[in-house]
């Protein structure tokens, strides 16, 4: 589904990704761990097409398409979803408006019929219930005044509604209380653990991985993947730290 080959990316002239290669097949859940500043968020942003992230070498294909040649909205319409480490606030636009616009823009780009208001509300209610999110929260402006954990849970409601093929989730577990962590973990499993879906989870902690059992765990250090293993690698890292593992 996603094939990244020798990816080099710079921000403001500084090299951050330095020859990163990674393949994610449909049906797989991958976790990326690694020290602060290693380039994990940079990888997510580069794949999402955030302005300022310049690819200087290498390639990334998504379902056989040249991902890097697509505009950010085209990447979303192709089925790529980004969950942010620091979700943005959008004053003046309600969550429901934002999500309906996003979903229908993507559906139109794929040649599908947009959802009617009633169909959309039914979908939003179903996903909000799955993530135990109060519908009143979805009527509020996007993330404005949300607590850290509420923003993360809101990201998962967005993911449920958008129903992407590939979700890149950047520290979705950070700041979640114990109950919210379980809800989010189960949400990821319910929404994304399917033969035609895939997930890349960026995380610092084992807790989420106990719930969303990854098929592969990678260590990203110095802008490239330095080690790959199974779920047990996360446990080893937790015990020994990155220096010993890399």
Ligand X SMILES: Nc1ncnc2c1ncn2[C@@H]1O[C@H](COP(=O)(O)OP(=O)(O)OP(=O)(O)O)[C@@H](O)[C@H]1O
Q: Which residues bind ligand X (CB under 6 A)?
A: 11-12, 14, 16, 34, 36-42, 85
CB of 36 to ligand X, least distance (A): 3
16, interface contact from Mg ion, ligand X, none, CB < 5-8 Å by kind: ligand X
Closest CA to 146 of 85, 89, 84, 86: 89
The footprint of Mg ion (CB under 5 A) covers 40-41, 85
CB of 94 to Mg ion, least distance (A): 28
Q: Which is nearer to ligand X, 12 or 195 (CB)?
A: 12
39, interface contact from Mg ion, ligand X, none, CB < 5-8 Å by kind: ligand X
Q: Which is nearer to Mg ion, 82 or 133 (CB)?
A: 82
37, interface contact from ligand X, Mg ion, none, CB < 5-8 Å by kind: ligand X
12, interface contact from Mg ion, ligand X, none, CB < 5-8 Å by kind: ligand X
| Number of other residues whose CB lies within 10 A of the CB of residue 177 | 11
Q: Which is nearer to ligand X, 11 or 121 (CB)?
A: 11
Question: Strand pairing of 198-202 and 29-33?
Answer: parallel
Residue number, nearest CB to Mg ion: 41
DSSP 107-130: HHHTTPPPPPHHHHHHHHHHHHHH
CB of 122 to ligand X, least distance (A): 36
Q: Which is nearer to Mg ion, 41 or 46 (CB)?
A: 41
Provide the CA 34 distance to its chain's centre, in angstroms: 16
DSSP 26-48: TT-EEEEE--TTSSHHHHHHHHH
| CB contact at 8 A, 218 and 225 | yes
Grouping H, G, I as helix, E, B as strand and the rest as coil, residue 158 is: helix
CB of 21 to ligand X, least distance (A): 17
Phi-psi label, residue 178: left if phi above 0, alpha if psi -120 to 50, beta otherwise: alpha
Q: Which is nearer to ligand X, 39 or 214 (CB)?
A: 39
Q: Which is nearer to Mg ion, 81 or 103 (CB)?
A: 81
Rg (CA), the chain: 18
3, interface contact from ligand X, Mg ion, none, CB < 5-8 Å by kind: none
CB of 80 to ligand X, least distance (A): 18
For residue 208, give Cα distances in angstroms to 4, 102, 140.
25, 28, 28
């Amino acid at each position: 589904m996603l094939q990244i080959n020798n990816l080099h990316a710079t921000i403001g002239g500084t090299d951050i990704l330095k020859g990163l290669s990674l393949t994610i097949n449909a049906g797989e859940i991958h976790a990326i761990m690694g020290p602060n500043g290693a380039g994990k968020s940079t990888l997510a942003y580069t794949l999402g097409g955030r302005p300022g992230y310049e690819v200087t070498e290498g390639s990334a294909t998504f379902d056989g398409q040249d991902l890097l040649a697509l505009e950010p909205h085209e990447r979303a319409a192709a089925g790529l979803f980004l969950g942010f480490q620091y979700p943005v606030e959008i004053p003046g636009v309600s969550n429901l408006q934002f999500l309906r616009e996003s979903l229908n823009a993507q559906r139109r780009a794929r040649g599908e019929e947009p959802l009617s208001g009633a169909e959309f509300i039914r979908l939003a209610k179903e996903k909000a219930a799955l993530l135990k999110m109060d519908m009143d929260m979805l009527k509020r402006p996007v993330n404005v005044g949300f607590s850290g954990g509420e923003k993360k849970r809101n990201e998962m409601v967005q993911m449920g509604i958008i129903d992407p093929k590939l979700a890149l989730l950047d520290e979705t577990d950070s700041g979640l209380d114990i109950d919210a962590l379980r809800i989010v973990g189960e949400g990821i499993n319910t929404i994304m653990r399917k033969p035609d879906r895939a997930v890349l989870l960026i995380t610092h902690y084992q807790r989420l991985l106990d719930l969303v059992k990854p098929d592969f765990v990678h260590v990203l250090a110095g802008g490239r993947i330095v080690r790959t293993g199974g779920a047990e690698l996360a446990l080893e890292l937790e015990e020994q730290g990155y220096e010993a593992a890399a």
